[in-house]
Amino acid sequence: ESAIKATVPLCKGEKAMSIRFEKDNRLAIVTIDRPEAMNALDMSHNTELDRVWAEFRDDDDLWVAILTGVGNKAFSAGADLKTLIPAQGAGVMDDWNFGGITRNFTTYKPIIAAINGVALAGGLEMVLACDLRIAADHARLGLAEVKWAIIPGAGGTQRLPRAIPLARAMEMILTGNPISADEAYQLGLVNRVVPGDKLMDEARALADTLLARGPLALRAAKRAILEGASLPFNEAMNLELELFNAVMRTEDAVEGPRAFAEKRAPNYQGR
């Protein structure tokens, strides 16, 4: 099947919003395209990311997503301090969902972060909201908010201590100092580190691996992991069994063993 790519315009008028949303068969690629602002998000770009991620979540033809930024300097420097932070201070965004995926958003489809440069403050919070993370070797990751007399407000204080040892999370949050890609890998914050010019190739290869798996099984496994983490062990085991039984009744669960027996690649349909 040939690849079909479509860049979806994100607003009407002469200029497109600087968020790219590409569909390549069952893969979605979301790219923040504000290199002049280190891919930081202002109000309008944050709103567009809300819309883009809702479309990804609701499109049955899209199974996996990659989130990245334009250029090799920044994945995202977080919130645009000139617009987003003043708006938050004025109470405009009392229940904000930074980057479209950090709060009040649920999808069990896998999301890969391709970290092409610095991921600071809200940039790292978006990374933390992704399921798998690949970093360019020159990337730096940090939560710098305390430097500006604020604290992380898009999940940083909650997701980072769940992702790495508490003492290191405390150090990153309380000092505001970033860490290198290699340090992030050693802490288990990212899955792998690759040369910058290989980043998207590696992210696409990982996406291809996920796309070859049963999509309903991936979603059930992700749900079991995320929801089970906050449940008592016995309740988590019951959730796993419930999801296991549901997946076993799908057409894909029939196709998988059949393909194995016939020594061919499975043809999953998400049913």
For the annotated catalytic residues, the residue numbers are 125, 145
Q: Is 75 exposed, middle or buried (CB count within 10 Å of its CB: 0-12, 13-18, 19+)?
A: buried
| Backbone angles phi and psi of 177, in degrees to 5 | -85, 140
Alpha-carbon span 87 to 79, nearest angstrom: 11
Cα separations (Å) of 70 from 115, 127, 191, 219, 239? 10, 15, 21, 28, 39
Alpha-carbon span 248 to 154, nearest angstrom: 36
Structure tokens, 127: 């990374």
For residues 156 and 173, the answer to whether their CB atoms sit within 8 Å is: yes
